[in-house]
Amino acid sequence: MTYLHVRFPRLKESLPRLPLGDGPTPVRPLPGLSEGAAQVWLKDDGAYGNGGWGGNKVRKLEWLLPDVRHSGRKTILSVGGLGTNWGLATALYAREHGLRTVLALVDQPVDDYVRAQLGRLRESGAKLYFTRTKGRTVAAVPWLFARHFSGGRPPYVLGAGGSSPVGALGYVEAALEIAAQVEDGLLPEPSHIVTAVGSGGTTAGLLLGLRLAGLRTRVVGVVVNDTLRLDGVTLPRLARRTAKLLERRGAGPLRFESGEEDLTVVRDRLGKGYGHPTPEGERAREHAAGREGLVLEPVYTAKAVAALRAMNEEGRFGDGPILFLQTNGPR
């Protein structure tokens, strides 16, 4: 079942979804992380995805791949770091559906996780270009665009993380899924949902989807990327652009507005920058693995859990409950 299509039937034709995973993803309490004022729950989107990689990127691709196919394009051109989860998920699922992937890769600190990810990227069939810096990547995109025409058509260009209005639909859908789990008694209505912010699409989709679902849940976005502007202006703006997309495609007037009360952007967990682990994040990884069997990675989810733990210990969530969105998707 596609919650967006049930709510807005006209979108079934104008915004098709290609199912790539089995939902709803599981929810459960995390007593080992509930050491502050509020109880912590988990929504494990790491379990989402039927191919070689899971996590939040797959939810975006469910909407993006049909858009690529509708456009008649045969190649996706995107960017990411050396250890990009987004690039790997795109390459694997695109290949499965007859599409090619070209990736421009920017340097990030290299550890065992990044080395393993690079190996997976090389095996994925994607064409890799090591452009190294953000500036060189921006300069290379026109050349890559021209080089990778296929069948007389240019490549379909996607920014880092697939965080376009179409990609954000994945987390509009996920927010409606959360609302259904609340209604079914599987999850108490969260006061806050905490997630890492790498490119913004997950956070923007949640902002819109939670309001469409009638939940009062506030989104807490923990910024882990210093190469993009990710703040209280850009994230709601993407949510509004996604709402406009739904309106244009047949959802009707949505009257969506997002105010300061809907979003908290946390910027003090980044450390030295994108891809750099932090001591607090590494402690959060060890704690989550030991107490909950929860596998976090150092770039995104460890920093988000570190922020969650600190904020909960400070009582910043009130009585909660808090929902942590696990977006890490290794297989």
Computed over every residue of the chain, the mean pLDDT equals 95
Using alpha carbons, list the distances in angstroms from residue 257 to 36, 209, 210, 212, 228. 31, 12, 12, 11, 23
Per-residue confidence (pLDDT) for residue 87, from 0 to 100: 95
Per-residue confidence (pLDDT) for residue 126, from 0 to 100: 97
Per-residue confidence (pLDDT) for residue 331, from 0 to 100: 53
pTM for this prediction: 0.96
Question: Stretch 174-203: mean pLDDT, rounded?
Answer: 98
CATH 3.40.50.980 fits 74-154, yes or no: no
Per-residue confidence (pLDDT) for residue 51, from 0 to 100: 73
Question: Stretch 221-246: mean pLDDT, rounded?
Answer: 96
Whether 330 shows a pLDDT value over 70: the answer reads no
E-only strand ranges, the chain:
27-29, 40-44, 75-81, 100-106, 127-132, 156-157, 192-197, 218-223, 263-266, 322-326
Per-residue confidence (pLDDT) for residue 255, from 0 to 100: 87
Domain boundaries, the chain: 3-53+163-326, 74-154
Using alpha carbons, list the distances in angstroms from residue 318 to 39, 263, 303, 308. 10, 15, 21, 13
Domain 3-53+163-326 class, CATH top level: alpha beta
Single-letter code of the amino acid located at 160 = A
Provide the β-strand partners of residue 76: 101, 156
3-53+163-326 and 74-154, same CATH topology: yes
What order of strands is seen across the sheet that includes strand 27-29?
27-29, 40-44, 322-326, 192-197, 218-223, 263-266
Per-residue confidence (pLDDT) for residue 198, from 0 to 100: 96
- pLDDT (tens digit per residue) in 217-230: 999 999 999 999 99
Question: Stretch 129-133: mean pLDDT, rounded?
Answer: 96
- pLDDT (tens digit per residue) in 93-106: 999 999 999 999 99
Whether 56 shows a pLDDT value over 70: the answer reads yes
Helix, coil or strand: residue 41? strand
Identify the CA nearest to 173 among candidates 67, 30, 21. Answer: 21
